[in-house]
Homo-oligomer: A and B are copies of this chain.
């Protein structure tokens, strides 16, 4: 039976829809659950899409030559020599990740905490996810030692792990694993003969551009598949476009052939008009570079402000270095949360913030945290404005925190967190 357990709805998309319903019902909600980027489409990209509206042919399954060449250039500029023939485009990096699991086969090791869909996709592909914890502050990269133990034990038990997923920069923690850890992961994958599937959808959102994330493709180029897209860097989630970079060499070509075959049976090709605009975007003309830089600054500024409230409330938080996510641990407040609010885990924290304050966040359980964990994920990406005018102003502002709608949203989150932390026991430090 291919589906032995019920398939869970994507937690981020479900949370998004729930908040949209509450807002439609007139409730005042602060959406920090989904990582959808609330920023407008760059005009140059809008124009490219409109100009390609007459394109209705399927085109090649792995994407147009223009898109594949542009994506290859994008990776080359990031230190990964790439031939266009190594690129497979798809309708989002999510379907590419799923198709990769089908094309690789076998079971797959996934980081814990990790993005909500890795495990669900593995189960849909008929595999079992093998959860491997990450090291503190080094999210997205399964601890190489624990990976060795887990894969060895799984093989001894008759299972067939063939791949390991990494996320650099990381969702949900917003951290960037250091090069040494990425290298150690790559070496472990080589020893264990695993394909590395490196989800780098946040690669352009590292705040310190002088210290970019290192891809495992640097250290294990023969076995690393990199996926990326325009969803996060350019806020184009609704356009559905992503790209995968297959390893060079014979094994990489074979995997690429299988990936394209799977794609041909599931989705045919990425949407043609979108491919045209995506090719332009991956070419990184100056206005695209400026837009990504402005978004990166905005995420960093608002994330730091929310981080201040979390730390003030008494949560533990690894320094956020990238993305629009914060992944606090309320464990230091465990006794107080239980006594004051009857809250014992991340689901309870999310319920409290949602029901009492209209602040939507995702519990750590959605990312694979064990029972009793007091982690939740907050995303700042929906706080930048209620309409394109506000969002453009946020992108352009020297100090986005001075804009009243952003200041208000950050203060709202801060009040909710202070209320969560208040109660019996030592008082929380106020911001």
Nearest chain B CB to A8 CB, angstrom units = 6
* Contact in complex: B260, A9 (CB < 8 Å): yes
Q: Which of A1-51 contact B (CB under 8 A)?
A: 1-3, 6-10, 13-14, 16-17, 20, 36, 40-41, 45-47, 49-51
* Contact in complex: A91, B271 (CB < 8 Å): yes
Residues of B within 8 A of A3 (CB): 102-103, 105, 258
Nearest chain B CB to A358 CB, angstrom units = 20
Q: How far is the CA of A16 from the CA of B57 in the complex (A)?
A: 11
A124 and B266 in contact (CB under 8 A), knowing A2-B102, A56-B238? yes
Q: Is A261 located at the chain interface by the 8 A CB criterion?
A: yes
Residues of B within 8 A of A239 (CB): 56, 271-273
- Give the total of A residues in contact with B, Cβ under 8 Å: 71
Q: Is A69 located at the chain interface by the 8 A CB criterion?
A: no
* Contact in complex: A126, B61 (CB < 8 Å): no
Q: Is A237 located at the chain interface by the 8 A CB criterion?
A: yes
Nearest chain B CB to A12 CB, angstrom units = 9
Residues of B within 8 A of A105 (CB): 1-3
Residues of B within 8 A of A264 (CB): 9-10, 13-14
Q: How far is the CA of A390 from the CA of B6 in the complex (A)?
A: 51
* Contact in complex: B54, A40 (CB < 8 Å): yes
Q: How far is the CA of A264 from the CA of B16 in the complex (A)?
A: 12
Fill in one digit per residue for A43-72: 1 if any B CB lies within 8 Å of its CB, else 0.
001110111011111111100000000000
Which of A92-100, A366-374, A395-403 participates in binding chain B?
A92-100
Q: How far is the CA of A291 from the CA of B150 in the complex (A)?
A: 59
Nearest chain B CB to A261 CB, angstrom units = 4
A240 and B265 in contact (CB under 8 A), knowing A49-B50, A102-B124? no
Residues of B within 8 A of A268 (CB): 10, 13, 92, 94, 237, 240
Q: Is A127 located at the chain interface by the 8 A CB criterion?
A: yes
Nearest chain B CB to A255 CB, angstrom units = 12
Nearest chain B CB to A102 CB, angstrom units = 6
Pick 9 A–B contacts, CB within 8 A, sort by A.
Answer: A1-B106, A2-B125, A6-B261, A46-B54, A47-B53, A49-B50, A56-B238, A91-B240, A239-B272
